[in-house]
Amino acid sequence: MPTIFERDNVNAFCKHAPIEIISTASGPLKGLSFGVKDNYDIAGVPTSFGSPAWLHSHPIPNKTAEFIEALLHAGASLIGKTHTDELTYSILGMNPHYGTPVNCAAPDRVPGGSSSGSAAAVAAGLVDFAIGSDTGGSVRAPASFCGIYGFRPTHGCISLAEARPLAKSFDTLGWFSRDAQILLELGKILLKGPTPIYEPTFAYIKEAFDLLPSALATQSKEAVSKHLNLTDIPTISIGSGHLKDWTETFRILQAAEAWKEHGQWVQSHIQDIGPGVKERFEAAKLINEEQVLKAKAEQAEIILAMQKLLSGNTFLILPTVIDVAPKLNSSMEEFDAFRKNTFQLLCIAGLCGLPQVTLPLLQIEGAPFGISILGNRNMDLALLEQIVAPK
C-alpha cells in the first residue's frame, strides 16, 4: 500500500516526522485512521511546532501525549503528523517553511490554521479524523474554511501535558471529521464523562449575525434551523459589550501569554521566524502589565455575561467566522483585516473557555462557510449529541 506521503496530494503531512501506528485493539474507533497536529509529542518522533528552528533546537520527545494512547486503545490507527502554522500563532494555514496545505474544498483559498494540515487531511479524505489544537480559533476557522466538522472542547478538560503551548489560558485540544457521528464518538473517548440528559434551548447571538451581510445572515439562520429541525429560534444580545472590544481583550491576553511562554526563545531565533508570526511576537513583546490587568478584568465581565446567556440549558448559535476563506493571493493588509474581523466571533469561546462545534452547512461563492453552536462549560457531550441527533 502506498505510504501517506505518496497519497498526500494536499501537503497535509510532515515529512520530517514520519510515524505510523496500526492499532490492533477492538473498540468504537476500530478501522478508522487519524492524523495528529505537529505540536503534540510522540515518543521518538520530532516535534517541529511548525518551525524548523524549533525542530533543530529541541530534543526528540520521549513521551507520547495521553490522548494518542486513548485513541489507539479505542481502535484507531495513527498514520502521520500534520502541518501547523508556525508556533501555532495564526489562523490562515500558511507556513513559509513547510508550505501551505491545500484546501481541497476551495483550492484557491487558504485552508485555515493553525491546524492546517489536520483540516486539509480530513477534507481530502486522507484520514477519517484528525487532531488539532484551538487557542484562538485554530480548529474552528479551518473547519469552516474546508467544509468539515470541527470541535473545540471546554478549556482544561483534556490534558495538554505533551503539547507545545501557545497561551495556556486558552489552549485546547480539538478535532475534525467529515462525519458528525465520529465527532461525537471522539468526544465520548476523550472527554470521559456522561452525556447530560435535558431539554436544550437555542438562541442566535444578535451581535454575531449583525457582522454578516443581511442576506448571508438570513441564509445562515435558515441552514442551522433546518439542521436542528427547529423553528422560531429567538435572537438574544450580549448586552452592553462590543465584540470589537472583546477581540482586543483576547489579543492582549493571548499575546502576553505567548511572549511569556516563548519570548526568550523567539528573541534568539527571530531571524528564523516567518512573516506574520514574527510581527505578532514583536507586538506581544510591547504589551505591559497594566494592559494585562485591565484585560483580565474585562475578561471576568465577559465570562459573567456569557454565563447568564448560557444559563437554563441554552446553546448559542453564531457564524464561525466572518466570511469564506480568504484567497491565497490576498494582500497582507487583506489577511490582517480578515483576521481582526473574524476574531470578533472566535474570541468568545476563547475568553470564556467554552465548547464550540462548527457545522459545514453552507457554500458561499463556491467555498464552504460554517455555522457554530456554543455551549456552557462542560456541556461538551450534550453539544455534540445535538449535532448528531437534534432533540
The pLDDT tens digits of the residues spanning 210-243 come to 999 999 999 999 999 999 999 899 999 998 779 9
Q: Catalytic residue numbers? A: 37, 114, 138
Q: In the chain, where does DSSP find H-type helix?
A: 4-7, 52-57, 66-73, 116-123, 140-146, 180-190, 206-209, 214-228, 243-268, 277-285, 289-309, 332-352, 380-388
For 44-94, how does the pLDDT look when each residue is reduced to its tens digit (9 = 90+)? 999 999 999 999 999 999 999 999 999 999 999 999 999 999 999 999 999
pTM tops 0.95, yes or no: yes
Instruction: Classify residue 376 by its DSSP letter.
Output: -
Q: Which of 136, 154, 164, 130 is nearest to 310 (CA)?
A: 154
Cα 89 to its chain centre, rounded Å, is: 12
Residue 239, pLDDT score? 86
What is the domain count for the chain? 1
Residue 295, pLDDT score? 98
Angle, helices 180-190/380-388, rounded to nearest 10 degrees: 160
Q: Domain of residue 16: give its range.
A: 1-391
What cell numbers appear for 268 in the block?
534568539
Residue 93, pLDDT score? 98
Do 155 and 172 meet the contact criterion of CB atoms below 8 Å apart?
yes
Residue 195, pLDDT score? 64
Q: What is the CATH number of the domain that holds 48?
A: 3.90.1300.10
Instruction: Give the Cβ contact number of residue 263 at 10 Å.
Output: 14
Residue 315 makes CB contacts below 8 A (sequence gap 6+) with 200, 201, 202, 203, 373, 374, 375, 379, 383, 386
Residue 362, pLDDT score? 97
Q: Specify the 3-state DSSP secondary structure of 271.
A: helix
Q: Is 359 exposed, middle or buried (0-12, 13-18, 19+ CB in 10 A)?
A: buried
CA distances from 324 to 141, 161, 216 (A): 10, 34, 11
Instruction: Give the Cβ contact number of residue 278 at 10 Å.
Output: 17
Burial code of 47-78, b = ≥16 C-beta within 10 A, e = fewer?
bbbbbbbbbeeeeebeebbebbebbbebbbbb
* Pairing verdict, β 367-374 and 356-364: antiparallel
Residue 177, pLDDT score? 98
d(CA 165, CA 159): 12
Residue 193, pLDDT score? 66
CA distances from 248 to 243, 296, 339 (A): 9, 11, 12
Do 347 and 246 meet the contact criterion of CB atoms below 8 Å apart?
yes
Residue 388, pLDDT score? 83
Do 33 and 74 meet the contact criterion of CB atoms below 8 Å apart?
no
Which residue positions in the chain have pLDDT lower than 70?
193-197, 389-391
How many CA within 13 A on the CB side of residue 341?
Answer: 17
d(CA 75, CA 70): 9
d(CA 158, CA 141): 20
Angle, helices 243-268/332-352, rounded to nearest 10 degrees: 100
